[in-house]
Chains A and B, each alone.
Chain A
Amino acid sequence: MSHLKIEHIEKSYGERSVLKDVSFSVQEGEFVSLLGPSGSGKSTLFRIIGGMTAPLSGAVYLEGEDITGKRGSISYTPQSPSLMPWRTTLQNVLLGQEIVGKKDEEKARDMLERAGLKGYEQAYPHELSGGMKQRASFIRSILSPQSLILLDEPFSALDEFTRLDMQQWLLSIWSEYKRSILFVTHNIEEAIFLSDRIIVLSDRPATVVKEFNIPFDRPRREDLLLTEEFLHWKKLIYQEMRVLNE
């Protein structure tokens, strides 16, 4: 049984149709990327999965249970790190647990240490760099009890070097904690490097045009980015995207 299953989602804002018959699934512990042009409706899809907006038709299933329009089943990491400026790093990463009920400070400290944030537990977000904030924001999701994590372009505001570091770090944490991740990005390389599977969405109204299974072994290392095979995949997906834009 798949972890998350999206079935025939339709959504429109007024006259404008945004999502059209979107269906796909995410397996338990899988890393899936959604790749689509800007404004195609990726964030809208996330809001539907998170129960913030109701679709016109279609359904969202989590572990077989219909969660369409229901909140509290997923953990969402917004595009901006969105830490609370009045909370220390430690308090910030505990927010997800706090909402549900029980706090595990021990584990939070442990995670922060391994994210290179040791010594910053009591620091406020304005004292952290952009990459550190993103890591804290992601730890908040990992520490949350929900088993599905939605990441909306988490690295788009970072520079190339930090981005690479963050991708590696994300993969290492993910392989250890084995959550299912649905990841939105504009960046083809990023999608190939991170994902088990890439779902390509068309421009508005968005539908699933193609799925790619990325066969690279894990753990993946940075030099993968320079291999012939990586470039091959990049070309393949790039062509697919270009057709869409025309």
Chain B
Amino acid sequence: MGKVLQKGWRPFLVLVLFFIIWELCTKIFAIPGWLLPAPSQVWLEAIYGWSHYTGHIFSTVQLIIIGFTVGSSIGVLVAVGLHLVPFLRQAFYPLLIVTQNIPIIVLAPLLVIWFGFGMLPKIMVISLVCFFPITISLLDGFRQADRDLNHYMLMAGATKQQIFWKLEWPNALPSLFSGLKISATYSVMGAVISEWLGASKGIGVFMTLASSSFRTDRVFVAILFIVTLSLLFFLVIVLLENMVIKWKSGKEGDNIESP
């Protein structure tokens, strides 16, 4: 925790400065609140309206967790499948990229038409944005397994299964976590977008309501929540990573090098 504080003060300072300038600008130029509320206004709204927001936040968090879990599981399964079966890789790898080229904003309403307003289309949207970074980074991790080690294991008579579990899978774990970090942030976005399309609760719903009634301060509160949630999810993944990956070198050295 001390390390976070030590390194975190610089960006924190920049943020504080940014908010001060923003606050001053709204005062000096007398910008109306519906156009751009001052940070203090946003802050007050967040605190006083808290009880009003908890239901929305809870519903979004739930959606994110389910969507992220489903999406990353699919991501891992797809990566393993594509890696182990060369035919599948040749057939599906290019198509994988196509899935990311369809704008989610266009696809999401279609999913609602097909699957209704329930959980399913929302989870599909989140999964769709989540699985890709994980699949790509895992595939890279599998492929980048050390060649000498691969030769060593093959010559010692290792089976394909042993090579996968003892070499390729652990080798891909750091990449998996890079993918998970990206997906964790994407999943928050995905959840909000999916809620825009139609839901009774959630930060996305609350955001559309706020902006259509010109409660710009509430829009900013929503943004604040989204950013906080993204950071929290990111942090959870980093903590998990530190628990799982104990062998990363350079951690000690980094501290010595940076003053």
Contacts from A to B (Cβ < 8 Å):
47, 50-52, 71-80, 82, 84-87, 95-96, 98-100, 124-127, 144, 146, 150
Q: Is B143 an interface residue (CB 8 A)?
A: no
Give me 30 A-to-B residue pairs in the complex whose CB atoms sit less than 8 angstroms apart, sorted by A's number.
A47-B151, A50-B151, A51-B155, A52-B154, A52-B155, A71-B154, A71-B157, A72-B155, A74-B155, A75-B155, A76-B151, A76-B152, A76-B155, A76-B156, A77-B152, A78-B148, A82-B152, A84-B167, A84-B170, A85-B249, A86-B173, A86-B247, A95-B153, A99-B153, A99-B157, A99-B166, A100-B156, A124-B249, A126-B249, A144-B156
How distant is the Cα of A124 from the Cα of B158 in the complex, in angstroms?
Answer: 23
Alpha-carbon separation in the docked complex, A72 to B154 (Å) = 7
108-167 of chain B: CB within 8 A of chain A: 146, 148-149, 151-158, 162, 166-167
Partner of A82, one of B149, B162, B166: B149
Residue of B nearest to A137 (CB): B152
Q: Which of B156, B170, B247, B249 has the most CB of A within 10 A?
A: B156
Residue of B154, B155, B158, B167 with most chain A CB atoms under a 10 A cut-off: B155
Q: Which of B148, B153, B250 contacts A80, CB < 8 Å?
A: B148
Docked CA distance A73–B146 (Å) = 21
**Complex CA distance for A238 and B250, rounded to whole angstroms:** 43
**Least distance between A11 CB and chain B CB atoms (Å):** 16
- Interface assignment of B10: CB less than 8 Å from any CB of chain A: no
Q: Is the CB of A96 within 8 A of B155?
A: no
The answer for the CA separation of A14 and B153 in the assembled complex, in Å, is 27
- DSSP class of A's interface residues: helix, strand, loop or mixed? loop
Q: Is the CB of A85 within 8 A of B157?
A: no
Residues of B within 8 A of A146 (CB): 156
List, in ascending order, chain A residues with CB within 8 A of B146's CB: 82
Name the A residues within 8 Å of B153 (CB-CB).
95, 99
Find out whether the CB atom of B149 lies under 8 angstroms from the CB atom of A72: no
Contacts of B148 in A (CB 8 A): 78-80, 82
Residues in B with CB closer than 8 Å to A47 are 151
Interface of B is mostly: helix
Chain A nearest CB, measured from B250 CB (Å): 8
Q: A78 — nearest CB in chain B belongs to which residue?
A: B148
List the 7 shortest-distance A-B pairs measured between CB atoms, nearest first.
Answer: A72-B157, A126-B249, A50-B155, A78-B148, A82-B148, A76-B155, A124-B247
CB of B246 within 8 Å of the partner chain: yes
Q: How far is the CA of A146 from the CA of B249 in the complex (A)?
A: 32
Shortest Cβ distance from residue A202 to the other chain B in the assembled complex, whole angstroms? 25
Instruction: Say yes or no: A71 contacts B247, CB within 8 Å.
Output: no
- In the bound assembly, the distance between CA atoms of A85 and B246 in angstroms comes to 10
B246–A50 touching, CB < 8 Å: no
Asked whether, in the complex, the Cβ of B151 is within 8 Å of the Cβ of A52, the reply is yes
B157, B173, B250: which contacts A73 (Cβ < 8 A)?
B157
A95 near B249 (CB under 8 angstroms)? no
Judging by beta carbons under 8 Å apart, are B149 and A126 in contact?
A: no
Q: Which residues does chain A contribute within 8 Å of B247, judged by CB atoms?
A: 85-87, 124-126
Give the distance to chain A from B89, nearest Cβ to Cβ, in Å: 22
Nearest-neighbour CB distance to chain B for A244, whole angstroms, equals 27
Chain B residues with Cβ under 8 A from A85's Cβ? Answer: 247, 249
B246 touches A72 (CB 8 A): no
Tell me, rounded to whole Å, the shortest Cβ–Cβ distance linking B174 to chain A.
9
| A121 and B73 alpha carbons, distance in the complex (Å) | 35
Q: Which residues of A contact B167 (CB under 8 A)?
A: 84
List the B side residues contacting A75 at CB < 8 Å.
155-156
Which residues of A are found within 8 Å of B171, using beta-carbon distances? 86
Shortest C-beta distance, B187 to chain A (Å), equals: 27
Pairwise interchain contact A98-B151, C-beta atoms closer than 8 A: no
A230 to chain B: closest CB distance in Å? Answer: 32
Which of chain A's residues have a CB closer than 8 A to the CB of B249? 85, 124, 126-127
Cβ of A71 and Cβ of B246 under 8 Å apart?
no
Give the residues in chain B near A52, CB-CB below 8 Å.
151, 154-155
B152, B162, B245, B246: most-surrounded residue (chain A CB, <10 A): B152
Distance between Cα atoms of A96 and B157 in the complex (Å): 9
- Interface centre among A51, A82, A150, by most B CB within 10 Å? A82
